[in-house]
Structure 1
């Protein structure tokens, strides 16, 4: 099953006999809530999912977007119409970060068929509808946590030494030049800078599988026994895990990411450019 789907493929699937459940996961870091934008216009049949309330637990020592409680997450997905035997397509406003978070979380919870709309709503081009959409019936999805690998802080530190740990944040945050959100700037010692923004073209669509494979190979993925990713709080990092999946490279996500790592003053912090 491909990790992404084009707008034309989604339009065709929605006309088919067993259309996918479509989730609108528009979200803006530090910006206004996106439900009003969803109610104004969304892909037909799409159900709105709130990233902060439904795709993450309460912010705290485990980071700004820690894993949600599996039972609460399962209930939210069932309320959105998600079942284990029906495909799911997720999209956001175009950046892809929020949609990738939903994609990763559903995979972590064991859903077998989840895809991200490549380019998001900006790439749709088809008819839109307004108002709130509720699914025709409640779904049956039951989460099976840890169905895909993930990292905690100790695992991320170990992987930075023994494998390849990619930092998906902007390069200036990796270097520690600026830190607009967290307690301290810098990166996990041994991590390699790999900004998520370089995985997509100017229109927000992913680069080809070959281009992404070449990018990650140049960063050391082909030589590493394992690959992991972190970001600020586990959102853009999920997008990098998705890009790696498109390239055919499995990777684990450190969900707590820098927001968890940097909250503990006992953890080491590296600054400066990538040693590579």
Structure 2
């Protein structure tokens, strides 16, 4: 699936799923820009990916977001792909114990942040008939016992519906907007929940296919969505979760 000549922006691209997506795009010919608010980490990660540039940015800061898009246009003159991947995972608590500031921060990063980047990218994607991939979660598809009342689930569910809204709104511009809903993937974000062998075995068994996912498996789905092979695919919600959401 060649992405030769394409310019792709991956938010939260310094680690985990975002890093795997950026690497996969680069391996298939794209020039890749990754963002993260950790300036040291973004520099290190960009050096590990061919044809990659790292731009520090806080997704909660609209001026940072605008700066990223401006720098991409100045350096490369175009934008073809946006992957809205950046996100945070809060401590799991029942709703009556969640602090309002914590609730708002999760929504600001996981939902409003995706809006900020999409808003700034759309005018340039209109010129290239570009593609957007939103990284949601199977936590946005169904309720889970002990994990169904927090801002993470709310933000991921909202991103799924926004995918459909944006796909419908911008189909006339030949912009395709699709969404991936991963299950539990082996990344820095999930490490705190997999500290012991018992934790790992429990989480593996939660997935009917018998294991948690790998970042590269999410990257493979993202590559399909932004490739020409998916030219007739928009508004699609793809679960890549080892069957967890069908139980």
Asked if these proteins are the same fold (TM beyond 0.5), I'd say no
Tell me the TM-score normalized by structure 1.
0.29
Tell me the TM-score normalized by structure 2.
0.32
Larger Rg belongs to: 1
User: As a proportion of its length, which structure holds more helix?
Assistant: 2
